[in-house]
Structure 1
Amino acid sequence: MSLSIQDLSAATGGRLCLAEMPPRDGGLTPIGRLVIDSRQVQPGDVFWALPGRHADGADFAHEALARGALGVVADRPVTPLPGGFSLKVPDPQLALWELARWYRQHLTATVIAVTGSVGKTTTRQMIHSVLAPALRGIASPKNYNNHLGVPLSLLTAGFRDDYAVLEVAGSASGEIGALAELAEPEIGVITCIADAHLGSFGGYDQVLRAKGELLGALGSHACAVLPGDDRRVRQMATGCGAKVSWFGRGADNDVTATHVHSGNGQLCFQVDEQSFRVPVWGRHHLTAALAAIAVGRLFGRSLSEIAAGLSTFQSVPMRCEVLQCGAVTAINDTYNACPISMKAALALLSEFGNSGRRIVACGDMVELGEAAEELHYQLGQDVITLGAAQQLFACGKFARTVACGAREAGMPDEAVTLCENAQQTADKLMATLQPGDVVLAKGSRVMQMERVVQTLAGYPVARVA
């Protein structure tokens, strides 16, 4: 970020209070990071005091100053410390958007916005891996993809950066469109459209329209990178004014792969006779890799350069992360869950050999609306047909539905264990584990299925490949 106190005041229109008059450097003192959690403040940062559901950030302004904050932005007067400042604004969240919008107008970096039902974070990081070796740029940190995360991510880009990869998400109609208009991307990427957040949007068609809001923010000079194997996405893109680059398995895509093989923590494939080897578990990561290749080409990178970048990719924690916990292997895919990501994780589980049992520890998939019962029953079926699992531990509201599906697919009653929550799942699982077992832990974020992995981590843990 390349902002001064003067820039901050001009962009937001807030009332500036300086501890010293005249101000040092005429108000041109550069500020550090923008931080919304007072506990994370470091010397030189600016604490942006946002009101929350459970606490008001302004109540922690003095704590932030005590930690060395250069200044505070809040909706109430704050007395700055010597050498510092405070900025009073009517609405801190609106002011954050105003600052990000002002900042975007001064950025020369190519902004890449990534959205989709699943795979956003992995695709974002793969694009970053492709571009970073030769160009200067940033990618959204952590899961910064909402009404706060997108402006904060945008503000981490520097005026000398070549690119900024931003992850964009939404849980209601209009949210992705608003975030895309703020980011003004030159490249828009949709990973896929699937049965996720059906409860919020109301159905697949509504999900499709919501993700398609990204295309509406692309000008004629921009480019959309889209999954070409989905005919509904192709139909949606007919009204897109931007250039379109298609990726997928079909031969009619601009970027497609052949000779695809996944195993032992490596995804191998070819694009136009160029070999790729990406250090990830599961062939479902091919979608993200092809999208990243398409973006790399738009930046003029050769296939050999793109392959070299993808070979350095580091998988994102809690997304198909394979850990060796003593004599037991854990597949930590606990960040979130929906039907398509469950299927992908179960397919990965089936890749593991027969030295031990394949075990599924799963929690509910939330926000599926009226389809929840049917989709959880199908999950139970998939535990057998896709995951080839020998044992199931299920918790949550739909645990019995999952168990019913698994039993109908052929899993014996004695192989099914119902649990109340993630911790009970972990405890019951631990009592049955044997050397060589492979455990897949997965569920929606609210289910906290990472507790299963944390309990397994009582063994010596090592990340595999």
Structure 2
Amino acid sequence: MAVCGDKELLVSLLSGSATSDGLSRRFLGVHFDSRRLTEGNLFIALKGKRSGEEFLPSAFGNGASLALVHRKIANDKALLDSFEFKDRVVAVDDTLEAFWKLSKWWRDQISARLIAVTGSLGKTTTKRILAALLSPIGKGGFSEGSFNNHIGVPYTLCSLAEDDMWGVLEVGMNHKGEIARLADLIKPDVGIITGIAPVHMEFFSSLKEVADAKCELLGGISKGGVGAVLNDNPELKEAALKAVPETVTLKWFGTREGSTVRLVDSQSCGLDGYIHKIEICGKTMPFKTRLLGSHNGINVAAALMGVISAFPSVDLTALRDSLLSVMPEKGRLNPLVLPNGALVLDDSYNSSPEALKESLRILGELGEGRKTVAVLGDMLELGDKSEQMHKEIGKWLCQHPYAGYLLTFGTHSKAISKEFKPSLHVDTIEELYNALLEEGFEIALVKGSRGMRLDRVVSMLRDDL
């Protein structure tokens, strides 16, 4: 059962104000989206592009039991007097701050072993693998989608049940200090840092700054907990050693010697995924996944590190088959076979230099002896190094010609096509789609940052061919 309580609890815990009627009225679970809440939820009216209070009629119409609103709204007596559900509203100074207070209180009520995952790359996949591996152990919960920010993390905490055995929370950031605050809220038993890469660089001047920001997670780990960090990056390792508190045990995973969990080898099974050989405390075991790419071996290693840190006595051989339930997600190297037999690798959800290189490697691996096309959009949020990084991808592709032909779309990706030939740069999605059809392909990789919306090309291919 998720976070629960009554109107009186909200008033006392959150320094709220409300009418004296219906203090015993209860709620079960929370949501901030009036369209997605379920019967009995507490609706939290957060301020976004529009005031959350505008959605109160929708929230109560969809079954909300109670609602948190901003006090300035509640002080509008004329508004409340005309409001049908005025006795089901609790007013607070700041609904987001109150949301955090509620989730912090609920964190202290639950007994689940909590694992927090952050990193420049792989955190969402690692979270999904962790949830699959932990599912045979017992009941638990994990972050929806990419619910990894100042709203998603408290929501996930409030979604966990008192009797859950485990919880996995994804933690993201754009600025220094964000992870520290989220980690302090979660107080994880295990904190995993999957690695660092030049992603979301517009607010950071170097990878060292990124490493320091990611390692803020270690400072929030509960006393006696474990910090699990990728062993392959010297800057990250140095930052972790400086950041880890004395009360936290630091352990390593990766490909290097000295890792508690070490990726030894990855073997491709074509579109059926990969077999990753992983050494755990000196014993090597195979782990089969349906996810494309050798890079997912590190994600599996990270997840295994999390499992054995949270549940040291677990029998990993009993958990291996659960990995097969983790399927490629839409937009994340998801293979789509079109009616004409051509293959599209839909990787349109996001892009960054290292992730793009790995996707191009997979295109080359699957496309050996076949006609391959890479359809690339801009890699966004790279800051003032964006032009340089796009140009470097073009040079890298010249040295590693995994694509037979290149199509680019966007402002910055033009630098890639200037370096690599044969290629064509276009200015619209329609031109991109038509150029791809005209060129023809047996395998096409479609990859770009979310803001480029290259999923439109994938949809057009799926619908038209």
Same fold (TM over 0.5): yes
1:191-238 Cα distance to aligned partner (Å, 9 max, x none): 111111111222211111110111121244110111011122222222
Write the mapping of 1:17-36 to structure 2, written as runs, cut at 5 A. 17=19, 21=21, 23=23, 26-27=24-25, 29=26, 31-36=27-32
Cα distance in 2 for partners of 1:32, 1:83 equals 19
1:433 aligned residue:
440
Work out whether residues 106 and 158 of structure 2, in 8 Å CA contact, stay in contact via their aligned partners in 1.
yes
- Given the alignment, which residue of 227, 250, 255 partners 1:244? 250
Cα distance in 2 for partners of 1:296, 1:35 equals 29
Work out whether residues 379 and 413 of structure 2, in 8 Å CA contact, stay in contact via their aligned partners in 1.
no
Secondary structure in structure 1 of the residue aligned to 2:262 = coil
Secondary structure in structure 1 of the residue aligned to 2:295 = helix
Single out whichever of 319-328 and 421-430 deviates more from structure 2: 421-430
- Which amino acid counterpart does residue 299 of structure 2 have in structure 1? A
Cα distance in 1 for partners of 2:331, 2:19 equals 43
Q: Which runs of 5+ in 1 are unaligned?
A: 461-465
How far did 1:22 drift?
5.2
Secondary structure in structure 1 of the residue aligned to 2:13 = helix
- Given the alignment, which residue of 309, 314, 330 partners 1:317? 330
Work out whether residues 138 and 163 of structure 1, in 8 Å CA contact, stay in contact via their aligned partners in 2.
yes
Work out whether residues 187 and 223 of structure 1, in 8 Å CA contact, stay in contact via their aligned partners in 2.
yes
Cα distance in 2 for partners of 1:430, 1:458 equals 13
Cα distance in 1 for partners of 2:430, 2:249 equals 49
Change (3 A) 1:423 1:141: farther
- Which amino acid counterpart does residue 352 of structure 2 have in structure 1? C
Change (3 A) 1:219 1:65: closer
Change (3 A) 1:11 1:433: farther
How far did 1:283 drift?
0.7
Cα distance in 2 for partners of 1:189, 1:369 equals 26
Change (3 A) 1:397 1:216: same
Write the mapping of 1:216-235 to structure 2, written as runs, cut at 5 A. 216-235=219-238
The alignment status of 1:69 with 2:64, answered yes or no, reads: yes
Write the mapping of 1:274-423 to structure 2, written as runs, cut at 5 A. 274-298=285-309, 299=311, 300-326=313-339, 327-354=341-368, 356-386=370-400, 388-406=402-420, 411-412=421-422, 416-423=423-430
RMSD: 2.0
How far did 1:294 drift?
1.0
Work out whether residues 70 and 83 of structure 1, in 8 Å CA contact, stay in contact via their aligned partners in 2.
no
How far did 1:314 drift?
2.5
2:4 aligned residue:
3
- Given the alignment, which residue of 95, 109, 121 partners 1:92? 95
How far did 1:355 drift?
5.7
- Which amino acid counterpart does residue 297 of structure 2 have in structure 1? L
Secondary structure in structure 2 of the residue aligned to 1:261 = strand
Cα distance in 2 for partners of 1:186, 1:275 equals 27
How far did 1:395 drift?
1.0
2:144 aligned residue:
141
1:289-327 Cα distance to aligned partner (Å, 9 max, x none): 001111121213223123223233233321111111222
Change (3 A) 1:387 1:99: farther
1:326-352 Cα distance to aligned partner (Å, 9 max, x none): 222111111111111111111111111
Single out whichever of 342-351 and 301-310 deviates more from structure 2: 301-310
Cα distance in 2 for partners of 1:81, 1:42 equals 20
Work out whether residues 114 and 169 of structure 2, in 8 Å CA contact, stay in contact via their aligned partners in 1.
yes
The alignment status of 1:114 with 2:103, answered yes or no, reads: no
Secondary structure in structure 2 of the residue aligned to 1:185 = coil
Cα distance in 1 for partners of 2:131, 2:363 equals 28
1:43 aligned residue:
39
How far did 1:370 drift?
2.5
Change (3 A) 1:325 1:8: farther
2:203 aligned residue:
200
1:56-99 Cα distance to aligned partner (Å, 9 max, x none): 11111112222222222111235775797111111111111111
2:262 aligned residue:
256
Single out whichever of 393-402 and 82-91 deviates more from structure 2: 82-91
Work out whether residues 350 and 447 of structure 2, in 8 Å CA contact, stay in contact via their aligned partners in 1.
yes
How far did 1:459 drift?
4.6
1:463 aligned residue:
none
1:14 aligned residue:
16
Secondary structure in structure 2 of the residue aligned to 1:14 = coil
Cα distance in 1 for partners of 2:167, 2:429 equals 37
Cα distance in 2 for partners of 1:81, 1:261 equals 62
Secondary structure in structure 1 of the residue aligned to 2:18 = strand
Work out the percentage of aligned pairs sharing the same amino acid. 27
- Which amino acid counterpart does residue 140 of structure 1 have in structure 2? S
Change (3 A) 1:423 1:129: farther
- Which amino acid counterpart does residue 394 of structure 2 have in structure 1? G
How far did 1:404 drift?
1.5
Cα distance in 1 for partners of 2:288, 2:166 equals 24
